[in-house]
Amino acid sequence: MNKRIVSFFFLLLFAGSLYAAIGITDLRTEQLKNPAGIDVRQPRLSWRIESDEQNVIQTAYHILVASSPELLEQGKGDIWDSGKIESDASQWITYQGKTLKCNASYYWKVKIDTNKGATNWSAPAFWTTGLFNEADWQGQWIGLDRAAPGDSETQWSRLAARYLRKEFA
Chain-centre distance for alpha carbon 122: 12
User: Percentage of residues in the chain with pLDDT exceeding 70?
Assistant: 71
The whole-chain average pLDDT of the chain stands at 85
| pTM of the predicted protein model | 0.73
CB 23 within 8 A of CB 110: no
17 pLDDT higher than 50 = no
Query: DSSP strand E in 21-120: where?
Result: 22-29, 36-38, 44-51, 58-66, 80-81, 85-86, 93-94, 105-114, 117-118
- Evaluate whether the domain defined by 24-133 bears CATH number 1.20.1290.10: no
DSSP letter at 134? G
116-162: per-residue pLDDT in tens?
999 999 999 999 999 988 888 887 766 666 666 666 666 566 666 65
